[in-house]
Amino acid sequence: MVKDAFYFIIPLAALAVAAYLFDFLVLAGILMALAAFVAFFFRNPDRTITDDPTAIVSPADGKVIIVEPGEEGTQLSIFLSVFDVHVNRAPIAGVVRSVVHHSGQFRLAWDERASVDNERVVIKIDGEHSLTLALVAGLVARRIIPWKKEGETVRIGERLALIRFGSRVDMLIPKSAEVRVKKGDRVRAGSTVLANWRQRL
């Protein structure tokens, strides 16, 4: 479980105990249920990471909502509901070249305008290849917490950041990679291969 969970669980549990002591049993039950949900939300499971050097793995758990080829590559977006794991992972190995925060709104995460209008953190990783991903806040998500700083090295599938309570992740998969997923697919951070770099001739 992510340590951020305790910032929510401890107050909820304390209020639940107080409610129980004052015989507000229904309220105590609701507060304990909320504490249990927070613990569930902030789970941080281990994942089996591929050893395929050509792989680009999913940075997030969730549902693929956009796979849209364009001139510069394929726009790929993953929606995370409040029931998905919200620990984000590095899609490739390399050096974290930049971590840039953009202030913005809090539209529903599946709204196409969220990619441009919403609060987000854009992370660029440079390795044998380069890749940029945007961690986007949604209507409920109000904080994005990068765990890696500029200049730090990451392994493929390594824990990278946390988005609290529902969000999306946007990526531009370069034309030098072949996308392996389609709209509607469910993906898992670190485990699902989204694309493979094409072999150089």
Per annotation, catalytic residue among 98, 103, 115, 167: 167
CA-based diameter of the chain, in Å? Answer: 73
- Within 128-191, residue ranges assigned H as helices are none
- 141-179 burial code (b ≥16 CB/10 A, e <16): beebebebeeeeebebbebbbbbbbbbbbbbbbbeebeb
State how far the Cα of 66 lies from the Cα of 79, in Å rounded to an integer. Answer: 9
How far is the C-alpha of 78 from the C-alpha of 15, rounded, in Å?
Answer: 35
Has 167 been annotated as catalytic?
Answer: yes
Give me the active site residues, please: 167
